[in-house]
A and B are shown apart, each in its own frame.
Chain A
């Protein structure tokens, strides 16, 4: 298995918010989802996942409830709040701005 790329600083929040955009997920599920959707290229370090989730919760962008998981025990499910949706839009916009800019530089240089 190739060494997963390090996540760009600040993009983890974006990925987490995007991952739970459609349905609430627990931490494990979020990590798995990001891994799967990126074709195993991105692997979320647990050491940064949970602090990030904690921060997002503190900011009021995600909310969490304990409920039974598909894996047979109680897990903490994270869902976007209204504020979180707005934040996701903001982060998406700034991400597309950034990536377009980077692409332009790579093309024209």
Chain B
């Protein structure tokens, strides 16, 4: 208690305590003097002797203050106040340093916030590390695929490693009864799914065992977002009924707001899976499991592999298939890891270069301030005290930088949220947490120490005598200090080259994505999703009749060139693929070697989308439901199934389907976007397989202008039809390249930032060296060196730094390029052009930046300098 009171007194009544101390020492001094007088000295001599004996009053006072144990606090306050004054005295230096640090700290904060959001909050389940994804693995190709239903049941029966297992499937329905009919996406889940995750519904309850049985009750769980958006967050929705695809579903509950699961799409609802048994054949479900406590992934993998080997022997359809068990966290990392890694790497480079830049500023300033520091040390400041003062200054700088970096971090986070796929719901994951605050503080202090420590150590090492002398500046600049500056600048240049290389690779990849030949025309093409509910369009006849009416109406709209319907469009997201049989050829046993995309299209489809016909004909009015089944294939199909043969008039079919005669061959098109290669495709005439999912419109006028009349036309024919995914092909393409575009923009921005920071840093160091060498240069000129000699010498010394830094950077980029591998399209990480161009660009910029100091060096006035000597 007493101790606390004492400390508080020392802290808050400092003036009082100090004056008491002075008084006490004064008393002591008086007594000493009296004693001396008593010993026979005269008054003045006695006072002097007393003073001598007592020693430095100021020192004693300072020592006493140290004993108070609060000195660090008062001194820190003093240091901060002093540092603040120093920073304010040189606003140009301060603002430059603060802005530089703001970029570094801001970028790092953004990366950390995003990483924490994705890695920590994406799996809001109890013990998420026990959750795994289970894949079927095609043994020959080594690729992971979805799982088959019977596989799953056999695995579940045989294993002892999983507490629970479940599988899910993507699902879509048309929602009616809430304004315009709307297409919404959700997930079908097998029994035990929610129990496996270990979450509780926000309100209501999970499905009962009876409800989970296929083909039983129509029940649905709603997402929090859907509940708020469509039902106004009414708590009484449990037990009420909503209409999905024309069928009433009973709502059993609402999911918690933070519920999310790695489904790679946004779910508005969950319902019991309603499946048909395909045996071990159809690989269409996503499998998941929760490990029993204490079971490792490796152990689970061992047992599952063993089960899969047993099943290969037992069931012919399982031949060639294995199982892979992967933790959900690794699955997530696989998806977002490379992007996060590149983002984090770029931010780290920006931070390091910013630190390097500020450090070199501080170093140069430290040299200029050496006299001030020498005076401090002469007046009794210890080395540690000086060090602390200088570090306080740099930490204060980094605090200011961090504060200025917050808006940048915020902006970067918004950018990332905008670019991330919608299913990640990244925006909802980002939040300010205690760990984030701790990271921010640690990062700021570490940045301050990182920038300040070296310059401070150098400054505190100053030699008193040299620095106190009036002409402390020697003929040559302090060699050691200049060498430190050079190292810093070289490091910055190397880092900038690495980032520039990354930016170059991503830009080249983006250029490839944008200019790749997709095989269809992306301009003046509008597509949207429109499916005819089977409750009202019961048979093929009804669907075809509706389409005929709609087609006629749409084709009559002004500005319309052609109209088509299909069950798949380029970049539409969904497609079906089937194992094929070709007449007269053995069917490959292996699914991957036998499968082809299949879709039904109207006759005008190829003309509308802009895929050219290579041979034969397109579908026409003759291809009616009653006529001979025909098909059109693409060139990839021919290469895969009929290499070197004329495909026309050959017969092919999806396994188990009707035989179709191939009547035409069309060019390849990249349906999944520029990043993928063209798959084999097999087209039926819509008239023979009337499944409408998409409508494609080619227009003569801008697509946006046709949208309103199109909507009106559809509403006129059937107000209960939902249209969704309304996009021009250009928009679809932008959407497909959103992530690489954002990543490219970001890395390029960061690269330009480091480029300018490092070249400015170099120019600064050169300018500083020139000003230090002014005398030497003046002498050289006086002794006959020409001005071009001088500027060449300056550029030359800069050139050595640039060359060495660029070489180190290029080597670093060569090794670091691997990180980008999975993010690059149409360009390898060791692309020679980019690897050479990045250092070249940097070198050019750096040399340009050095011209000013070189010119200044050359224009040193010899007479001026000599007069000063």
A76 touches B6 (CB 8 A): no
B28 touches A81 (CB 8 A): no
Would you call B375 an interface residue if the criterion is a C-beta within 8 Å of the partner chain's C-beta atoms? Answer: no
0/1 interface trace, chain A 53-87, chain B, CB 8 Å (1 if under): 01101111001001001010111100001010000
B60 touches A51 (CB 8 A): yes
* Most chain B CB atoms below 10 A, which of A50, A54, A55, A83: A54
A58 touches B67 (CB 8 A): yes
CA distance in complex: A84, B237 (Å): 73
Within 8 A of A (CB), among B22-60: 23-25, 27-28, 30-31, 53-56, 59-60
**From A48, which residue of chain B is reached at the shortest CB distance?**
B63
Would you call A10 an interface residue if the criterion is a C-beta within 8 Å of the partner chain's C-beta atoms? Answer: no
Would you call B2 an interface residue if the criterion is a C-beta within 8 Å of the partner chain's C-beta atoms? Answer: yes
**From A83, which residue of chain B is reached at the shortest CB distance?**
B2
CA distance in complex: A83, B59 (Å): 29
Would you call B66 an interface residue if the criterion is a C-beta within 8 Å of the partner chain's C-beta atoms? Answer: yes
**Chain A nearest CB, measured from B86 CB (Å):** 30
Given contacts A51-B63, A63-B2, contact A58 B20 (CB under 8 A): no
Of the candidates B3, B20, B67, the one whose C-beta lies within 8 Å of that of A76 is B20
Given contacts A46-B54, A51-B63, contact A57 B31 (CB under 8 A): no
**From A59, which residue of chain B is reached at the shortest CB distance?**
B3
CA distance in complex: A46, B52 (Å): 11
**Chain B nearest CB, measured from A91 CB (Å):** 18
A58 touches B7 (CB 8 A): yes
Would you call B257 an interface residue if the criterion is a C-beta within 8 Å of the partner chain's C-beta atoms? Answer: no
Given contacts A51-B60, A51-B66, contact A58 B6 (CB under 8 A): yes
B7 touches A27 (CB 8 A): no
Would you call B69 an interface residue if the criterion is a C-beta within 8 Å of the partner chain's C-beta atoms? Answer: yes
**From B25, which residue of chain A is reached at the shortest CB distance?**
A50
**Chain A nearest CB, measured from B510 CB (Å):** 66
Would you call B68 an interface residue if the criterion is a C-beta within 8 Å of the partner chain's C-beta atoms? Answer: yes
**From B4, which residue of chain A is reached at the shortest CB distance?**
A60
**From B29, which residue of chain A is reached at the shortest CB distance?**
A46
Q: Which residues of B contact A54 (CB under 8 A)?
A: 21, 64, 67-68
Q: Which residues of B contact A59 (CB under 8 A)?
A: 3
CA distance in complex: A54, B60 (Å): 11
Number of B residues with CB within 8 Å of any CB on chain A? 26
Of the candidates B7, B27, B53, B64, the one whose C-beta lies within 8 Å of that of A51 is B64
The contact size tier of chain A is 20 to 34
Of the candidates A26, A47, A76, the one whose C-beta lies within 8 Å of that of B55 is A47
Of the candidates A51, A60, A66, A73, the one whose C-beta lies within 8 Å of that of B67 is A51
**From A75, which residue of chain B is reached at the shortest CB distance?**
B27
B25 touches A58 (CB 8 A): no
* Most chain B CB atoms below 10 A, which of A47, A52, A71, A83: A47
0/1 interface trace, chain B 853-867, chain A, CB 8 Å (1 if under): 000000000000000
Would you call A95 an interface residue if the criterion is a C-beta within 8 Å of the partner chain's C-beta atoms? Answer: no
Would you call B10 an interface residue if the criterion is a C-beta within 8 Å of the partner chain's C-beta atoms? Answer: yes
B2 touches A81 (CB 8 A): yes
Within 8 A of B (CB), among A12-46: 26-28, 31, 45-46
**Chain B nearest CB, measured from A6 CB (Å):** 15
* Most chain A CB atoms below 10 A, which of B25, B67, B68: B67
* Most chain A CB atoms below 10 A, which of B23, B24, B55, B69: B24
Q: Which residues of A contact B2 (CB under 8 A)?
A: 60, 63, 81, 83
Tally the A-B contacts, defined by beta carbons under 8 Å: 68
CA distance in complex: A71, B31 (Å): 9
Q: Main secondary structure on chain B at its contact with chain A? A: helix
A47 touches B59 (CB 8 A): yes
Q: Which residues of A contact B31 (CB under 8 A)?
A: 28, 71
A27 touches B64 (CB 8 A): no
A75 touches B24 (CB 8 A): yes
**Chain A nearest CB, measured from B33 CB (Å):** 12
Within 8 A of A (CB), among B115-158: none
A58 touches B69 (CB 8 A): yes
Q: Which residues of B contact A63 (CB under 8 A)?
A: 2
CA distance in complex: A28, B24 (Å): 9
0/1 interface trace, chain B 53-81, chain A, CB 8 Å (1 if under): 11110011001101111000000000000
A73 touches B27 (CB 8 A): yes
CA distance in complex: A76, B53 (Å): 21
Q: Which residues of A contact B56 (CB under 8 A)?
A: 47
Of the candidates B53, B64, B69, the one whose C-beta lies within 8 Å of that of A50 is B64
Given contacts A60-B3, A60-B6, A81-B2, contact A26 B27 (CB under 8 A): yes
A46 touches B55 (CB 8 A): yes
CA distance in complex: A26, B2 (Å): 20
CA distance in complex: A55, B21 (Å): 13
**From A81, which residue of chain B is reached at the shortest CB distance?**
B2
Of the candidates B3, B28, B53, the one whose C-beta lies within 8 Å of that of A58 is B3
A28 touches B27 (CB 8 A): yes
* Most chain A CB atoms below 10 A, which of B7, B10, B63: B63
A58 touches B68 (CB 8 A): yes
CA distance in complex: A58, B24 (Å): 17
Q: Which residues of A contact B69 (CB under 8 A)?
A: 58
CA distance in complex: A31, B29 (Å): 13
B28 touches A55 (CB 8 A): no
**Chain A nearest CB, measured from B826 CB (Å):** 72
B59 touches A50 (CB 8 A): no
Q: Which residues of A contact B30 (CB under 8 A)?
A: 73
**From B61, which residue of chain A is reached at the shortest CB distance?**
A50
Q: Which residues of A contact B24 (CB under 8 A)?
A: 26-27, 50, 75-76
A50 touches B27 (CB 8 A): no
A50 touches B3 (CB 8 A): no
Q: Which residues of B contact A52 (CB under 8 A)?
A: 67
Q: Which residues of A contact B27 (CB under 8 A)?
A: 26-28, 69, 73-76
B7 touches A50 (CB 8 A): no
Given contacts A60-B3, A73-B27, contact A50 B20 (CB under 8 A): no
CA distance in complex: A50, B66 (Å): 11
CA distance in complex: A46, B6 (Å): 22
**From B69, which residue of chain A is reached at the shortest CB distance?**
A58
**Chain A nearest CB, measured from B630 CB (Å):** 99
**Chain B nearest CB, measured from A3 CB (Å):** 14
Q: Which residues of B contact A83 (CB under 8 A)?
A: 2
* Most chain B CB atoms below 10 A, which of A50, A63, A83: A50
**From B2, which residue of chain A is reached at the shortest CB distance?**
A60
Within 8 A of A (CB), among B67-101: 67-69
CA distance in complex: A54, B21 (Å): 9
A50 touches B6 (CB 8 A): no
Q: Which residues of B contact A47 (CB under 8 A)?
A: 54-56, 59-60, 63
Q: Which residues of B contact A60 (CB under 8 A)?
A: 2-3, 6
0/1 interface trace, chain B 1-14, chain A, CB 8 Å (1 if under): 01100110010000
**Chain B nearest CB, measured from A68 CB (Å):** 12
0/1 interface trace, chain A 76-109, chain B, CB 8 Å (1 if under): 1000010100000000000000000000000000
CA distance in complex: A60, B69 (Å): 13
**From B31, which residue of chain A is reached at the shortest CB distance?**
A28
**From A66, which residue of chain B is reached at the shortest CB distance?**
B20
Q: Which residues of B contact A50 (CB under 8 A)?
A: 21, 24-25, 28, 60, 63-64
A57 touches B55 (CB 8 A): no
A46 touches B63 (CB 8 A): no
Interface residues, chain B, with chain A CB atoms under 8 Å away: 2-3, 6-7, 10, 20-21, 23-25, 27-28, 30-31, 53-56, 59-60, 63-64, 66-69
Apart from A27-B27, A28-B31, A47-B55, what 8 extra A-B contacts exist at CB < 8 Å?
A: A27-B28, A45-B55, A51-B60, A58-B7, A58-B67, A66-B20, A69-B27, A75-B27
Q: 22 A–B contact pairs at CB < 8 A?
A: A26-B27, A27-B24, A27-B28, A28-B31, A45-B55, A47-B56, A50-B25, A50-B60, A50-B63, A51-B63, A52-B67, A54-B64, A54-B68, A57-B6, A58-B3, A58-B7, A58-B69, A60-B6, A71-B31, A74-B23, A76-B23, A83-B2
Interface residues, chain A, with chain B CB atoms under 8 Å away: 26-28, 31, 45-47, 50-52, 54-55, 57-60, 63, 66, 69, 71, 73-76, 81, 83
The 6 closest A-B pairs by CB, nearest first: A60-B2, A54-B67, A55-B67, A51-B63, A54-B64, A60-B3
